[in-house]
A and B are shown apart, each in its own frame.
Chain A
Amino acid sequence: MVSALHIITAALAAAFLMGLLKEQQRGLAFGITLVTLAFMSWISAGWLWTFASTDTAAVEIFTAGTQPPFAINLRIGLAEAALTLLINLTGLFSALALKDTLLALGRRAMAVWLVAVMALSGIVLTRDLFNLFVFFEMTVIATAGLVLLSEHSKNDGQALAAGFKYLVVSQFISAFLLIGIIFAYHTTGTLNIDGMAAAAPLLSGSAAQAFSLAFFLIFIAIVAELKPFPANGWALDIYESAHPAFSALFSAATGAAALFAVDKLLLIGGDAWLPMATGIGIITFIAANLLALPQTNDRRLLGYSSIAQTGLILAVLGQRDILGDHTLYIAGGLLLSHAVAKAGLFWLSGLIAERGLEAWAALRGHPVLIFAFVSFICMLTGLPPFPGFYAKWELIHLLAGEGRIALLGLILLGALIEAGYLFRWFGYIMKREAPAEVVDNAAHKVVAVIAALAAAWALSLVWGELSVLQFERGNLLLALPLLFALTFLALDPLPAWLKNTLAIAGLLAWFYLTYTEYDPLRMIFAVIFLIGGSLTLLASYHAHGQRSGFYPSAMLMFAGLAMLIRATDTFDFFVAWELLTVGSYFLILRGKHSEPHALSYILFSLGGAFLILAGFALATQGAPHFDLSALADLVQPLAPWVFLLLAIGFMTKTAAIGLHIWLPGAHAEAETDVSPMVSGILLKAGLYGLIVLLLTMGRQDFYGVELINVMLWIGAITALIGNLLAIFQEDAKRLLAYSSIGQMGYAMFGLALMNHLGWLMALMFVINHYVYKSMLFLSIGGVAKRTGTREMYRMGGLITLMPLSFIATLIGIIAVSGVPPLSGFGGRWIFYNAILTAEARLPMVIIFLAGPIAFLYLFRLIYTIFLGQLKDEFRRVKEAPFWIVLPQMIYVAILLVVAVVPGLVLRHVDSYLNAFFPNGGLVWEGSTITSQFGYWNPVAIMIIVGVIFMTLFAWLLFVNRRAQKVKQFNIVFSAERPFRPETTHFAWNFFAPYRKALGFLTLPLATMFWSTVTDLLHTAGDLARRFYTGNGQTYAFHLLAFVMIVYLFGMGVRP
């Protein structure tokens, strides 16, 4: 094994060698630089392999032939090897990305680059405090030099100013550091970090006080290198003005080195200093994310994000007392996620010509780069299967186990804000107009991005393996459904029909492999997710060409759904939940105008997911594994809190009122075949969550409030408001979307009744809603595709041109509205029986009221689209494409079958529910179903309704036989064409009288509330960032004020 000391000697030797080269030998100099950096990386990699594969103790490296404290010693262990590898590889690939600049500037710049990388490795390796100072100063000097790599005649000296500001601040820092070091040496008699750590606790009296002050100065100086809020204005200017390849090094490598230095210092200081690290870290994390919100410059935004991430890791280091052995796994996971993702993003930034966030839309033509960007932001947000996810999971659980709830909440809040601006950025990339400048895809620059991408996925694999080894959880990357979804990334160039066939085959095969595992309850969801999913995918055959990106997203969602119903413990459940959330987000984002809606979807979903995570963590209380069924064993006072967190989390997915504002846009703006997926299928995931929750936790008393009653009310109000909002929509797909909100309200209401029939009815809703909402979204989507509009008053009279779509819609609305003879009626019948046994009278009235309202919007759907007058421009409209009509016809068949023999499905569920609610079940005899209030015979009803219909129909034909047909245009319009023609159309504002009466219930209160929240956050961020005036002296003053404040707060609470 090559001594780690050669990481330093190799860089120094190469840097000195540069001086011997001729100024013109730039290619040679660049080659030497790359080879040296590769050699340094190779040394680190060798050590990393040694430590990872064998149980080797850390190795001490002595210099000057003497033991410490008489000479400096270095140490390499697992963490040091990993960090130096990170630093050296970042240095290598950044140098590659900097090729043009380095070749233009020549050997001196390369020597400085080598020294910078070497100094950062030195910070990690050294065990001597003064040596640490020296390496830091080398970093400062090298940084000040390398900031100028981006300097050229046109950019107004911004980098120059930034570099000078940095030097000013670093002068203050080094003064603190030196004074601190000398007094710490004076009191402990050693400069060796381990020696000092051993000596410090033995001090007493004034020596202890002096040491404490000296240590504070050292600590605060090193922390200042982490760019803590608010003493970080200088760093932002560097991020904004420096060459992105340098910023990659500055963010990934410098941050990692400084964090490790803090970690070493905490070894000296001991646990007493941990709260200070946590406090500084978490404030920085929240503040920097908040300030990032209003940023428009990509590099400055990445700078803020870097600072935030570093703050988070500092806060995690401050939790060492409870993280114990897992510190390396958690802090390391977060650190490597941050470093790899941030380096990758900065390298990507080097490919983009303009600095606005929208300019990144140029990436759109490059699927690999888009994939890289997505991987990086998912990595930063801590989504599975990236290391940050595992780290976040363990961290939150440990915090919850120790009762550090405030910190837990702040971490999740900051992470949500971060996800907000990162996913908003991704929305810009996918949806904004691409700029004229194309992506600079020079090979040496792209290689760096690809390397980061490979590292991101390799680390995911490693962290997954570690999670298997340490916690006996699964390696997510090896989960079959996820692997299958990821395979579609590689298959992306294939034609859509082939991928579609593969996708359908995959879903069916998975069902075949697993169907024996499901109990009747899960079976319902398995059928909807897998069989239903493949049915919906039939509609995707209509798409031509390659349909890039659709299948990875869709299959990611289905992978999440498939994993969700098989999950038995909280970890697997949460993983599945996050996967289906992310997959569906990408799917929704594909819609033409869905950018803002996809963003609000992912934010609500992630917010909900974080609540679920917090709920699981609270429930677990430090246990390594937690089965979902163990939720039932929770007791007061914890149980109601867990219930509350989980219930709200699940309700963000079912779009309960108040949390519903993402749904209409997300479902309506999605592509034709995506709408049924996200409405008919995805919404059921939320219901599944609620079912799992209620089955285990059931009734919870929260300070005297029965939580299940609250849910009952929420369900009822959601049903009412959702339906009301639906009747006032002009846009047909939005109408359907709002109606989903109402339908989910029904289902929630049924579950919250907590009796046998209520649950049966909720499960019936689950099935019915899937069938008819998928069908309606497809038929309306088909109409919208043919007519080019979704506004109902623009359509009309399409019955003869699109008869199949008409039939599907007709059947659909009969089913939804719950009139006989279709399955909706069965749902209603069970529902009314269920209500009669429940005690809640008032919500019952509300839910009754919601029924007829549903009928209003459904009537409007059929009346204004298919009946009435045909518009001139649609005279040549054809029936919807075959592949969109086919699934609709299958759904029609299913509805008819289920209407006649509902027992096919419900019987099993009914008997399964007996285990949970033994009383009040139904009696199934032949084709008759009996409850305690009456009976229902679907076949008889079908026959009776059929006979009545045929009779009336025949009579109508008879009386109309001599009616004269009036042609559509045998009337004359004499007036002028009105300014807004739709105002004169009967189908516009169809239910105006109702709006007058009930419109006050549809005020967008929830929308106003949430937009006020986001506006407030934005305004706060925008105001606070004025604090960074751009003046170097102000920044220095910030630093001093920061030191002062931390001293006053921090030393006050210390012994």
Chain B
Amino acid sequence: MISLAQMAMAAGFILILIGFYGALTQRNLLRMIVAFTIADTGVNIVLVAVGHMRGRTAPILDVAVPAADAVARVIDPVPQALVLTAIVIGLGVTALMLAYALKLHARKHTLDIAKMTELKW
């Protein structure tokens, strides 16, 4: 029987591969950026899946989960914290790439990455 975590992890890796494939084969800057967001999502899913523990609840200490028995009842909070950070960073990088795409289009009137090869060798 495949667990939820395993399914999520498989899905995450498939998304990463799709994203990488797209980033390597699509020559349009915007499509590349979309591909990267797919890969980022995949990475985040993998992160969450690794932290998943069967039958436990979210690591939020409140009435439902008193601090005393939290260790036995909540899942590992660290991967979740990591994912939050990773999402924020991913957002920043994506925004930066989009800004780049905008500027490049304004300057070169194209979004084709194969046409941005003045610097080489």
Contact present for A172 and B116 (CB under 8 Å): no
Interface string of B50-61 (1 = CB under 8 A from A): 110000000000
Residues of A close to B27: CB separation below 8 A: 1033
Contact present for B121 and A130 (CB under 8 Å): no
Question: CA–CA, A758 to B82, complex, Å?
Answer: 79
Take A186-B50, A1033-B27 as given contacts and tell me if A181 and B119 are in contact as well, using a CB distance cutoff of 8 Å.
no
- Return the contact of A161 from the options B39, B43, B46, B118 (Cβ within 8 A): B118
Chain B residues 31 to 46 lying within 8 A of chain A, measured CB to CB, are 32, 36, 39-40, 43, 46
Interface string of A162-173 (1 = CB under 8 A from B): 111101101110
Residues of A close to B23: CB separation below 8 A: 168, 171-172, 1033, 1036
Interface string of A1033-1044 (1 = CB under 8 A from B): 100110010000
Chain A residues 462 to 520 lying within 8 A of chain B, measured CB to CB, are none
Please give me the residue from chain A that is nearest to B46 by CB atom: A179
Contact present for A178 and B97 (CB under 8 Å): no
The segment from A136-144, A911-919, A1006-1014 found at the interface with B is A136-144
Residues of A close to B119: CB separation below 8 A: 158, 161-162, 236-237, 240-241, 1030
Please give me the residue from chain A that is nearest to B108 by CB atom: A157
Residues of B close to A1025: CB separation below 8 A: 121
Please give me the residue from chain A that is nearest to B39 by CB atom: A175
CB distance from A775 to the nearest CB of B (A): 52
Q: Is the interface of B mostly helix, strand, loop or mixed?
A: helix
Contact present for B93 and A182 (CB under 8 Å): no
Take A157-B104, A178-B47, A182-B46 as given contacts and tell me if A168 and B93 are in contact as well, using a CB distance cutoff of 8 Å.
no
Residues of B close to A182: CB separation below 8 A: 46-47, 50-51, 79, 82
CB distance from B2 to the nearest CB of A (A): 18
CB distance from A316 to the nearest CB of B (A): 28
Take A140-B93, A237-B119, A1037-B24 as given contacts and tell me if A160 and B43 are in contact as well, using a CB distance cutoff of 8 Å.
no
Take A164-B116, A1026-B121, A1033-B114 as given contacts and tell me if A144 and B96 are in contact as well, using a CB distance cutoff of 8 Å.
yes
Contact present for B89 and A161 (CB under 8 Å): no
CB distance from A174 to the nearest CB of B (A): 8
CB distance from B73 to the nearest CB of A (A): 18
- Return the contact of B120 from the options A163, A168, A1030, A1033 (Cβ within 8 A): A1030
CB distance from A179 to the nearest CB of B (A): 6
CB distance from A952 to the nearest CB of B (A): 72
Is A1031 interfacial (CB 8 A cutoff)? yes
Contact present for A141 and B118 (CB under 8 Å): no
Is A887 interfacial (CB 8 A cutoff)? no
Question: CA–CA, A162 to B107, complex, Å?
Answer: 14
Contact present for B117 and A141 (CB under 8 Å): no
Chain B residues 85 to 121 lying within 8 A of chain A, measured CB to CB, are 85-86, 89, 92-93, 96-97, 100-101, 103-104, 107-108, 113-114, 116-121
Question: CA–CA, A233 to B121, complex, Å?
Answer: 8
Question: CA–CA, A140 to B36, complex, Å?
Answer: 15
Is A1029 interfacial (CB 8 A cutoff)? yes
| Number of residues of chain B lying within 8 A (CB) of chain A | 40
Residues of B close to A1033: CB separation below 8 A: 23-25, 27, 32, 113-114
CB distance from A808 to the nearest CB of B (A): 55
Is B29 interfacial (CB 8 A cutoff)? yes
CB distance from B11 to the nearest CB of A (A): 14
CB distance from A746 to the nearest CB of B (A): 49
Is A1032 interfacial (CB 8 A cutoff)? yes
Contact present for B24 and A141 (CB under 8 Å): no
- Return the contact of A158 from the options B36, B92, B100, B118 (Cβ within 8 A): B118
CB distance from A1035 to the nearest CB of B (A): 10
Contact present for A170 and B93 (CB under 8 Å): yes
Question: CA–CA, A851 to B34, complex, Å?
Answer: 82
Question: CA–CA, A597 to B5, complex, Å?
Answer: 70
Question: CA–CA, A398 to B14, complex, Å?
Answer: 48
Contact present for B47 and A1031 (CB under 8 Å): no
CB distance from B121 to the nearest CB of A (A): 4
Question: CA–CA, A409 to B81, complex, Å?
Answer: 48
Is A832 interfacial (CB 8 A cutoff)? no
Q: List 12 A-B contacts (CB under 8 A).
A: A134-B85, A137-B93, A141-B89, A164-B101, A171-B40, A179-B43, A182-B79, A185-B50, A1025-B121, A1028-B121, A1033-B23, A1037-B24
Binding site for B on A (CB under 8 A): 130, 134, 137, 140-141, 144-145, 156-158, 160-165, 167-168, 170-172, 174-175, 178-179, 181-183, 185-186, 191, 233, 236-237, 240-241, 1025-1026, 1028-1033, 1036-1037, 1040
